[in-house]
Amino acid sequence: MEKNIDDYYYRKKIALQGEIGSFSEMAALQYFGSHIEILSANSFKQVAEMVKNKQAEYAILPIENSQTGGINNVHDLLLHEDLFAIGEVILKIEHCLITHPGTKRERLERIYSHPQALAQCEKYLLTNFPHCQIIPIYDTAGSIKQIKELQDLAAAGIASKRAAYYYQMQIMEQGIEDNPFNYTRFLVFSPEMINSENTNKTSIIFAVVSVPGAIYRCLKEFALREINLTRLESRPSKRKPWEYVFYMDFEKGLWDKATQEALTELRNCTTFVKVIGTYQAQAHFYSSSASISNQ
């Protein structure tokens, strides 16, 4: 069958929260390759809307960080949105302090970045820049874009090496994260679930009635079938005080017989179960310090 020449120029549209040079963009490049079109959003909710309205074919969202834990806003979003995880990317996060070319350390008065990045560099900032105003902003790469556009010579941003490259700014120092074992796990989302037996990891949400032994009865169904749980995290349901929902990842595809049996039993001891998605677990980690360009 002869291919249409347009197929060679078609670029998948990927929605993400942040600008070019963000860690989310780097995760998208690792998963889809360079032949993509990035649709930047200011919020996770806007990312979901882009997929829902068919502006984007896929979305990529951070789900957890190895140092600061789950991304709460994303967890809350997944509870209500019909997005289905089809893949994952685990990215080693390496932060850089980025300024205008020629800026000296002693001149800095303000440092901008996403709250997660600021939290991951807290000790570094307290030790080296106790006099600076620390200002949270919607995105790591967005902080570099802002100080570039405003020509703010007394400001720095914390972002990736790629952000410095893309905006042609100066890396004053790199590897400034407090813990070198700093990884963020991203999930790739589609409007439709994967229907494939080749998946080997599944993510779900469930809730239980608050009675003694409720969680034990849920987890027992996975233990009996030797299904390994890789994450279990609780979040307030926000419907009533002290009611919680649980986010779980386990190492088994959704269409596996053991998974289907476990989920059937799980529904008998929960108030609801929602499948977030099923996908291939990432076999290795990617480094955000690599020079990646899709321009």
Residue 205 has pLDDT above 80, yes or no: yes
Q: Give the model confidence (pLDDT) of 231-269 as tens digits.
A: 999 998 887 777 789 999 999 999 999 999 999 999 999
Q: State the pLDDT at residue 195.
A: 85
Residue 3 has pLDDT above 50, yes or no: no
Q: State the pLDDT at residue 18.
A: 92
For residue 143, give the H/E element and its range: helix 140-149
Q: Give the model confidence (pLDDT) of 107-139 as tens digits.
A: 999 999 999 999 999 999 999 999 999 999 999
- The domains found in the chain, sorted by start residue, are 10-93+182-193+282-287 (3.40.190.10), 96-174 (3.40.190.10), 201-280 (3.30.70.260)
Q: State the pLDDT at residue 242.
A: 76
Please state at what angle helix 214-224 crosses helix 257-267, rounded to 10 degrees: 160
Residue 294 has pLDDT above 70, yes or no: no
Residues 6+ apart with CB under 8 A from 268: none
Helix (H/G/I), strand (E/B), else coil: 50: helix
Give CA separation, 192 vs 183, 234, 275, 276, in Å: 27, 25, 12, 11
Q: Label residue 16 exposed, middle or buried (CB < 10 Å: 0-12, 13-18, 19+).
A: buried
Q: State the pLDDT at residue 5.
A: 46
Q: What torsion, rounded to 10 degrees, do the Cα atoms 24, 27, 33, 35 define? A: 0
Global confidence as pTM: 0.89
**Contact (CB, 8 A) for 185 and 63:** yes
Q: What are the tokens at 11?
A: 């670029």
Q: Which residues are catalytic?
A: 184, 186
Q: Give the model confidence (pLDDT) of 127-180 as tens digits.
A: 999 999 999 999 999 999 999 999 999 999 999 999 999 999 999 999 999 999
